[in-house]
Amino acid sequence: MSLVTTKELLLDAQKNGYAVGAFNVENMEMVQAVVAAAEELNSPVIMQTTPSTVKYADLAYFYANAKVAADMASVPVVMHLDHGSSFELAMRAYRTGYTSIMIDGSHETYEDNIKVSKAVADACHPGGVPVEAELGKVGGKEDDLDGGEGDPYTNPQEAAEFVKRTGVDSLAVAIGTAHGVYKGEPKLDLDRLSEIRKVVDIPLVLHGTSGVPDETVKECVKRGICKVNYATDLRIAFSKGVKAVMAEDPDVFDPKKYNAAGREEVKKYVMQKIMVVGSNGKAK
Ligand code: 13P
């Protein structure tokens, strides 16, 4: 199958009460692991890369990996730009062939966030590429940026107006999650999520999901989350596999040996999360 966009995937998820997992990938093995997990469970899947990841290599490297994986796969695969930090980066991802783009203007003022989100939506829509935006501030470190100060949660009425004025296809909401490793158990404002859902009729996105208990994620999906982002835990899983091989054989020097172990750990993790978000068996 060729790469697909998030448009139909997320609308189907919204209609049928499940979510699609969006997994951050950092190398070829993680791309292979995510797609292998999705194939084994007959699930659609979204892969995504942040600005720091595409700075490490380049959009073109990650796009090429994702394209090959999608071409060889029997399930729908999306390549998404996560936390697009500027109009220019969003456009570069669009031109590279990414099939879904996030513009993250959540660090700007409300009006500037509307301006940049609308500009990206207007530029991507003629080519059929859907756009995710963010309103409110997810805590922790978002790639290289801090979540920031002030009332961080998404205001439902603002969200409704934001969606109308920007024309974006999906919206990341701030309801108490944070990127990175949680110190205690995260407390999510689930009622706020339901309030947002009542007044916003496009797919909602949950960021900062590594470390959120599975039962809480399921409750979020019930209340309208259609895309669930996992990043930190995939990095931890990959490293766990690599470290185990190195601990067992400190003289190992073939990257294929330890990278394969990392790949296997990521695949196991992604399979478990696909079951949590409920997209197993939903590949069309
Ligand atoms: P975590 O690293 O907390 O899983 O967050 C992932 C994310 O939201 C990527 O945008």
pLDDT digits (tens, 9 = 90+) for 134-160: 999 887 766 655 555 567 899 999 999
Question: Does residue 260 contact residue 32 with C-beta atoms inside 8 Å?
Answer: no
Stretches in the chain below the pLDDT threshold 70: 141-150
pLDDT of residue 202: 98
Q: What are the C-alpha distances in Å from 147 to residues 1, 107, 135?
A: 37, 8, 12
Tell me the CA–centroid distance for residue 138 and ligand 1, in Å. 9
Tell me the CA–centroid distance for residue 281 and ligand 1, in Å. 24
Catalytic, 82? Answer: yes
Atom of ligand 1 nearest to the CA of 178: 3
Among 58, 71, 82, 249, the one annotated catalytic: 82
Separation between Cα atoms, residue 206 and residue 21, nearest integer Å = 10
pLDDT of residue 139: 74
pTM of the full predicted structure? 0.96
Q: What are the C-alpha distances in Å from 249 to residues 5, 177, 236, 258, 265?
A: 42, 38, 20, 10, 18
Tell me the CA–centroid distance for residue 164 and ligand 1, in Å. 26
The residues facing 146 across adjacent strands are 141
Question: Does residue 129 contact residue 100 with C-beta atoms inside 8 Å?
Answer: yes
pLDDT of residue 151: 73
pLDDT of residue 192: 98
